[in-house]
A and B are shown apart, each in its own frame.
Chain A
Amino acid sequence: MSLRDNAIVAYAETKVMKKSDRDVWVLAGEILETLLDKTGFDKAEIDGLVMSGLTGTGGASMFWAQSTCDMLGLEVGFCEQVHTGGCSAVGAVARAAAAIDAGLCDVALCLYADTHVREHNGRNDRNYRRDWTEPYGLLGPPGAFGLLQRAYDAKYGVDLRALGKLAVTQRNHALMNDNACEELRVPITIEDYLNSRMIADPIRLLDCVMLADGAAGLIVTSRKRAKEKGLHKCVIPLGYAERTNFLGGENLVDVTRSGHEIAGNRALAAAGLDIRDIRSFHPYDDFLIAIVIQFEAFGFCKPGQGMAFVRDTDLSYKGTLPMNTGGGQISAGQAACSSHNLIEGVRQLMGEAGERQVKDIANALVTGIGWINYGRNWGSSAALALAPNQ
């Protein structure tokens, strides 16, 4: 058994809301109901639950996944919460598949439900922040990415118009995505990006993701079980890798390098793919500069060439490298435990992306970025290569 002996047989997603009008467990129930309806699985057949630990609403509970089982009436042999921040969405797929391979469960629900705008209970200060950044008023992610983007600028140079192009490309995709946050579905131009107000110079408002509420989920099972169940339209996880605390045993590091170097190489090797084979890219986007750094780390271009790569590449759904075709988190909203780009990759590979469907899509590379470390870039990097069932 291996990762690719498993299959994602269904996805579900609520519309992203600026603030949820209903409880997080109502959203979770909607996802469960949709996934049962889509697959024909009986609730009793769901014997694995893998949740994301990136949850503001559940962040104060030590028993979040268990109490969710309780709320939804699920009895499982594998109950897991993934704690790799924004890597947890793709990490959940890999953990579900590993649990199925290990015989711990047969049919796993990967559940991404969060209402961190409506009800935020989480804390993130039991780390370096307490002594070493909070006394200076460094504003969480925007402050950290302000330091990162300026360091990138000093080393390689930032082309603001290239960042603006990323903003506009993703926004155009969100305009075609009915599930994107409605408040964000307003056309923008590169000038709008350049003129958006500074949050943490050089980070502008339109560099940043906006927290939003919503839920999504996947059903993962073995290909054998999928076939027995008659679920022929599925998405196969070909390769996955993650890296936490990249260069964590060193002190002064190049902050423009990330664990995606390692995670990308390993995931692609497992998938039997070269980066040039990738037909759609769904990079984790909390800030636009993170996308540029990922183009370099994954080898789409050489280090320092990310801005030129953006300038020279059509990243729209009909371009040479379709990117975040649902709008990305920056234009759809950072909801559902940051699973948006993963769900979009699965939807594209099932051919259900409507007017933004990528033609002849052979695969999708979905990534994760999780947590922010001290003066570097991010704590965890993940990559998941997906392909349709042949």
Chain B
Amino acid sequence: MTVTLNDTLEVKRDIRHYDFGLPFWQATRQKKLIIQYCKTARKYQHFPRPVSIFTGRRRDIEWREVSGKGTVFSFTIAYRGTPAFQGAEPYAIASVTLDVGVNLIAGVVNCTAEELKVGMKVKPYWHPLANGEHLLMWQPDKDAA
């Protein structure tokens, strides 16, 4: 069964942000991936929160740039899209475990259904948005060992 996956790059996206997550989106303008880090727990967390989920304190949070390299933890192939994505099916969405130990869910591009496997190495693909930000997506990291 050969399934061609849609990269969904043509889908119009109008993303509304929370103020406490803005640093993430600002960094995407330079195609940088920054993740919240708790200085007390010495652990990363994603998605962005207003406090450290480990200590409950705002002051423990800082943002750190990470490589974005990771491993597919799980994935699903959408055969029925959300309203904005209808007509773009099938497309893949993967939950990826970054090397720093957070799972980050994003769409998958430049990948066939046959290639996509749990355990596959991936790296960021930055999809430009109309407002100058970039949307993080995943693509196979063919150079990874």
Name the B residues within 8 Å of A198 (CB-CB).
77, 79
* Contact B78 A138, beta carbon cutoff 8 Å: yes
Residues of B within 8 A of A147 (CB): 74-76, 93, 95, 105
Given A248-B53, A252-B97, A375-B95, A151:B17 Cβ within 8 A: no
Contacts of B101 in A (CB 8 A): 251-252
A131-B15, A147-B74 known; A137+B8 contact, CB < 8 A:
yes
State the CA gap A143–B97 with chains docked (Å): 18
The residues of B that contact A150 with a CB separation of less than 8 Å are: 74-76, 118
A165-215 interface with B by 8 A CB criterion? 197-203
Contacts of B84 in A (CB 8 A): 134, 137
Are A252 and B102 in contact (CB-based, < 8 A)?
yes
Expressed in whole angstroms, the Cα–Cα distance for A199 and B80 within the complex equals 5
Q: Is the CB of B76 within 8 A of A251?
A: no
The listed residue with most B CB atoms (<10 A of its CB), out of A128, A135, A136, is A136
B17-48 near A? 1/0 per residue, CB < 8 Å: 11001000100000000000000000111110
State whether A136 touches B107 (Cβ < 8 A). yes
In the complex formed, the residue of B with least CB distance to A148 is B74
- At the interface, yes or no: B106 with Cβ under 8 Å from chain A? yes
Report the minimum CB–CB distance from A151 to chain B (whole Å): 4
Contact A139 B105, beta carbon cutoff 8 Å: no
Whether B15 lies near A139 (C-beta < 8 A) is: no
A252 to B81, CA, bound (A): 27
Residues of B within 8 A of A139 (CB): 78, 80-82
- Check if A327 is an interface residue, CB within 8 A of chain B: no
Number of interface residues of A (CB under 8 A): 35
Nearest CB of A to B60, in Å:
13
Task: For residue A252, give the distance in angstroms from its CB to the closest CB of chain B.
Answer: 5
Q: Are A252 and B79 in contact (CB under 8 A)?
A: no
Q: A134-B82, A147-B76, A147-B93 are in contact. Are A251 and B105 (CB under 8 A)?
A: no
Q: Please state if A201 and B76 are interface contacts (CB–CB under 8 Å).
A: yes
The answer to whether B93 touches A136, judged by C-beta atoms less than 8 angstroms apart, is yes
Bitwise, A242-268 to B at CB < 8 A (1) or not (0) is 000000111110010000000000000
Q: Are B15 and A130 in contact (CB under 8 A)?
A: yes
Judged by a CB distance under 8 angstroms, whether A237 is at the interface is: no
A41 within 8 A of B: no
Select one of A131, A134, A203 contacting B76, CB under 8 A: A203
Residue of A nearest to B89 (CB): A137
Assess whether A156 is interfacial by the CB under 8 Å rule.
no
Name A96-134 residues within 8 Å CB distance of B: 128, 130-134
Residues of chain A contacted by B122 (CB below 8 angstroms): none
B11 contacts chain A at the CB level, 8 A cutoff: yes
Name 9 A/B residue pairs within 8 A (Cβ), A-sorted.
Answer: A128-B47, A130-B18, A133-B93, A134-B15, A136-B107, A137-B88, A138-B93, A138-B105, A139-B81
Taking Cβ atoms with an 8 Å cutoff, the residues of A that contact B are 128, 130-140, 142-143, 146-148, 150-151, 154, 197-203, 248-252, 255, 374-375
For the complex with contacts A133-B105, A151-B73, 17 further pairs of A-B residues with Cβ separation under 8 Å are A133-B93, A135-B13, A135-B135, A138-B78, A139-B78, A143-B76, A147-B93, A150-B75, A150-B118, A154-B119, A200-B78, A201-B78, A249-B53, A251-B43, A251-B45, A375-B74, A375-B105
